[in-house]
Structure 1
Amino acid sequence: MSTTPADATVTGLVNPYEELEAQLRGYTIKPADPAYDEARAVYNAMIDRRPAVIVRCADAADVVACVRFARQHSLEVAVRGGGHNAGGLGVWDDALVIDLSLMRSTTVDPANHEVRVDGGCLWRDVDHATVPFGMATPSGFVSSTGVGGLTLGGGVGYLTRLAGLTVDNLLSADVVLADGSLVTADAEHHPELFWALRGGGGNFGVVTSFRFRCHDVGENGVIIGGPVFYDLADVGEVMRWYRDFLPEQPGDLNGWIGVTRIPSVPVFPEELHDRRACVIVWCYTGPHADAERVLAPIREFGNPLLVGLQNLPFSALQSMFDPLLPSGLQWYWKADFITELSDEAIEVHRKYGEAIPTELSTMHMYPISGAAQQVAPGDTAFAYRGGGWAGVIAGIDPDPAKAQLISDWAKAYWEELHPTSAGGAYINFIMDEGPDRVRAAYLENFDRLAQVKAQYDPDNVFHINQNIPPAAE
């Protein structure tokens, strides 16, 4: 990489980062380097920030060097894993970005149903390692999502009803702390830090590796799943049936619900392209011999436009929507937790479903029930354990000229729907919405998180995130 000087707060050297570069197995990318614009880009193309330097770390020692260097020179620190964060908090103007994207190794222990995962992995890396053994770790719904960001925020996904959140399956984490030390946090070592990492976001350090519990899924990793679409005119009937049906089902059946426009792609019949619809995407991970009985009520309900249930590897379901949602789209997100899908809320979904402004814009509700409810609200930092859903309204389009259009739709939708919500929102789904929204995400756990922050990061070094300030002494 070039050693062209970069604009930064480090002064007095021809190359202000020469001292850091001498310690790295990875490399730096600075504003004058050809790779800079690509390296600073994140998943959400609405984000346009210019870091002072991006450090592609090769290992934990590189991360340690970055944290120490940043503190020595009073540089802001941002931490980038998969870059999926809605608010683009993996990059920041004039910051030193600790980029973990080179750290992508995984190690599977099939006998003990565990997997060790580097901090820069995407969930497709984990699925690639575990699904051939018939196992998976609970994750999200898009395989290009980073392991670090999703995990530290909680981890709601297809396996939530079967095996809990991602954080419920975290066994240990290697963490570089604000003082530049490296520790392993688990139930016996740094237990308060371990508690806080399970939902408290990136507030407590840089996680360089995770160790997760895995679960058998389907038959040798093959599950039954896929989308079922209904005409939007039927959204009231569908949502009322769904809200009553799903909570009564065993944990090996999950399904998220949304309002959408059917994508204009060859996998769907041309006559359905761009049609406004209500969709439920199902995932059944139980014995295939029981599938006909379990899935019969789904196949028999209502008047679906398309039933896309099929046998497929769990990794294929996880990556099903990746081609529709590549990096570089415009995104605007609004979110809330929902404990009750009321008739009033259903009418709001119908109204804004009819007004979806672009083909990719959508609303999704992801269940937090089954096994996720068996964990007490205070057992992890993730506090919403009473059932219901993590809801997100996403205005999405490739055209920057439509950024205002999709943002206005998402905001108006959320403002009308919010009075029916539980108040807070899934931390992974909010953008830059202020400290009150962060506090609301954690309920009674916030004050304890602030105490852990005061212990492990009293100077708030890691504050480019959904920030939890350290408690005052």
Structure 2
Amino acid sequence: MTQMTGSHVGARLRERVRGQVWQHEDAGYDAARTVWNGAVDRRPAVVVRCADADDVRTALLLAREHGVPLAVRGGGHDWAGRAVLDGGVVLDLSAMRAVRVDAGAVVAHAQGGALVADVVDPAAVQGLGTATAVVRSVGMAGMTLAGGYGGLVGRFGLALDNLLSADVLLPDGTHVTAGPDGDPELLWALRGGGGNFGVVTAARYRLHPLGQVLGGMVLYPQEQAVDVLRGYRDVLAAAPDELTVMAGFVTGPTGTPAVFVAPTWSGDLTAGERAVAPLTRLGTPLGGGVAPLPYPELIRMFEAGSAPGRHYALGTRWLPGLTDDAIRTLADAATTSPSPSSLLALHHFHGAAARVTPDTTAFALRRDHLLAEVIASWAPDDADPTATAAAHHAWVSRVASALAPGALPGGYPNILGPDDADRTRLGFGANADRLLAAKRRYDPDGVLSAVAAIGG
């Protein structure tokens, strides 16, 4: 696409949409093209911050008419930066964040740009909640469409298991309601296939009665890491649905690596105290603790470690269990990270999420497992940014490779990068061919490519 074409599309968008439009020469353009990962530095021809679904349709059709590549920005939290692209049109949904909680129907109605916080905060006021990721600032739709691991997965399943229906604009401008009474095949594909089939302008999420949860984080010294993670493994083996436990490594209060366990108990609090107690006795704690609190407050815990504007690189493996080799790999990796801001995390998948039949949703991995996240994080103002970035990417690659023996095929699409198409497809297992058929049906021209393996 030439700059003239981009200018032409931008000019036509200014005439036709209610939302804001930015091009290279406009004040605010640099802010409009920014996403969570400060390492992503791309220059779209046009960014259009859509005011409503009509704006989305207008921008979508104009981009197609002019043959301009397209990206969709919801929460903008994808580390690989697929929400923006050089020379293309970015459909920015960040102004479409309205949420309505229907307490009687136990459903949250959310626009496509709503963040996790926009959904869980008003739901909690009504004594309700739903499965989400562990960070409040991620986009609800983008997180849900690929999976949505979090502290309620054992009791309520993945976030995508709670997606009831969605309003979708297909790449040809057709409006479709993906749902059991509308287009069930599209709903099936959206539950794990990501934003590859159309633009989700609104969605409805199942809510559940949810009072205070019992949660927090307990830190242990790095030298106790092997024993702590072995104890963690034992707790997981007997964990009921109400108990989902994250673990991993962060920088502790003394500035050195520390191993953490972060439980979420979502049932009776008295029973929860007994269930969580063993996690506070895995070693000699450095600090932290567990207490009753509202779910929206619990998921503030990792906000500081996912600050926007820092530079990030991510890697991942699905682990069928926590072997001694994996424990040693993680413990060693915590001591070799180039930055104290980096994080190693294990997300617990079990209970309700594991009882779903694999072909019920596009997300196919329905056995107990751990999602290992390797997150490198560093400041953007380093004296030698190229060398710094290379060191962090190398660390992520080394750790992910060291965890590969014994890991399950594929990986979580929300963490895999654009070069991981083979692993992404493997992750869909027996559902891959059906998902590819859905891609050909809903986006035959390959306009959208949020997940590499089915990006067309």
Q: Same fold (TM over 0.5)?
A: yes
For the pair 1:246 / 2:236, whether they are aligned, the reply is yes
> Offset at 1:258?
0.5
| Alignment-mate amino acid for residue 161 of structure 2 | D
Residue 70 of structure 2: aligned partner: 77
Residue 55 of structure 2: aligned partner: 62
Residue 116 of structure 1: aligned partner: 109
> Offset at 1:132?
1.1
> Offset at 1:349?
1.1
Quick one: distance in 2 between partners of 1:432 and 1:398?
A: 23
Residue 163 of structure 1: aligned partner: 156
For the pair 1:289 / 2:279, whether they are aligned, the reply is no
**Which residue of 8, 14, 18 corresponds with 1:21?**
14
> Offset at 1:35?
0.5
**Cα 1:320–1:307, aligned 2, differ >3 Å: closer, same or farther?**
closer
Choose 318-327 or 226-235, whichever is displaced more. 318-327
Quick one: distance in 2 between partners of 1:189 and 1:15?
A: 36
Residue 287 of structure 2: aligned partner: 306
| Alignment-mate amino acid for residue 8 of structure 1 | Q
Residue 121 of structure 2: aligned partner: 128
Asked if structure 1 preserves the Cα contact closer than 8 Å seen for 2:422 and 2:453, the reply is no
Residue 316 of structure 1: aligned partner: 297
Partner deviation per Cα, 1:33-91 (whole Å, 9 max, x = no partner): 11011111111111110001001001111111111111110010100000000101000
Residue 10 of structure 1: aligned partner: 5
Q: Where in structure 1 do 4 or more consecutive aligned residues deviate above 4 Å? A: none
For the pair 1:138 / 2:118, whether they are aligned, the reply is no
Asked if structure 2 preserves the Cα contact closer than 8 Å seen for 1:342 and 1:420, the reply is no
| Alignment-mate amino acid for residue 289 of structure 2 | G
Residue 451 of structure 1: aligned partner: 437
| Alignment-mate amino acid for residue 255 of structure 1 | V
> Offset at 1:409?
1.1
Partner deviation per Cα, 1:306-364 (whole Å, 9 max, x = no partner): 24212222111112221342100110101111112111111111211221221111111
Asked if structure 2 preserves the Cα contact closer than 8 Å seen for 1:119 and 1:148, the reply is yes
Partner deviation per Cα, 1:165-200 (whole Å, 9 max, x = no partner): 011001000000011111111023211111000010
Gaps of 5+ in 2: none
Residue 43 of structure 1: aligned partner: 36
Quick one: distance in 1 between partners of 2:249 and 2:318?
A: 17
**Cα 1:162–1:9, aligned 2, differ >3 Å: closer, same or farther?**
farther
Quick one: distance in 1 between partners of 2:238 and 2:119?
A: 30
**Which residue of 414, 425, 439 corresponds with 1:428?**
414
Choose 98-107 or 290-299, whichever is displaced more. 290-299
Residue 350 of structure 2: aligned partner: 369
Asked if structure 1 preserves the Cα contact closer than 8 Å seen for 2:193 and 2:451, the reply is no
- Written as runs of structure 1 = structure 2, the 5 A alignment for 1:162-201 is 162-201=155-194
Asked if structure 2 preserves the Cα contact closer than 8 Å seen for 1:9 and 1:75, the reply is no
Gaps of 5+ in 1: 1-5, 263-271
> Aligned with 2:230: secondary structure?
helix
For the pair 1:468 / 2:438, whether they are aligned, the reply is no
Residue 91 of structure 1: aligned partner: 84
| Alignment-mate amino acid for residue 161 of structure 1 | G
Residue 311 of structure 2: aligned partner: 330
Quick one: distance in 1 between partners of 2:267 and 2:71?
A: 41
Q: CA RMSD of the aligned region, Å? A: 1.6
> Offset at 1:299?
2.9
Asked if structure 1 preserves the Cα contact closer than 8 Å seen for 2:50 and 2:56, the reply is yes
> Aligned with 1:255: secondary structure?
strand
Identity over aligned residues, as a percent? 36
Quick one: distance in 2 between partners of 1:314 and 1:7?
A: 48
Instruction: Kindly tell me the number of residue pairs found equivalent between the two proteins.
Output: 451
| Alignment-mate amino acid for residue 312 of structure 2 | W
TM, length-normalised to structure 2: 0.95
Asked if structure 1 preserves the Cα contact closer than 8 Å seen for 2:413 and 2:451, the reply is no
> Offset at 1:375?
0.5
Asked if structure 1 preserves the Cα contact closer than 8 Å seen for 2:72 and 2:92, the reply is yes
Quick one: distance in 1 between partners of 2:373 and 2:296?
A: 23
Quick one: distance in 2 between partners of 1:22 and 1:230?
A: 59
Quick one: distance in 2 between partners of 1:353 and 1:464?
A: 31
Quick one: distance in 2 between partners of 1:53 and 1:284?
A: 45
Asked if structure 1 preserves the Cα contact closer than 8 Å seen for 2:99 and 2:110, the reply is yes
Quick one: distance in 2 between partners of 1:295 and 1:469?
A: 42
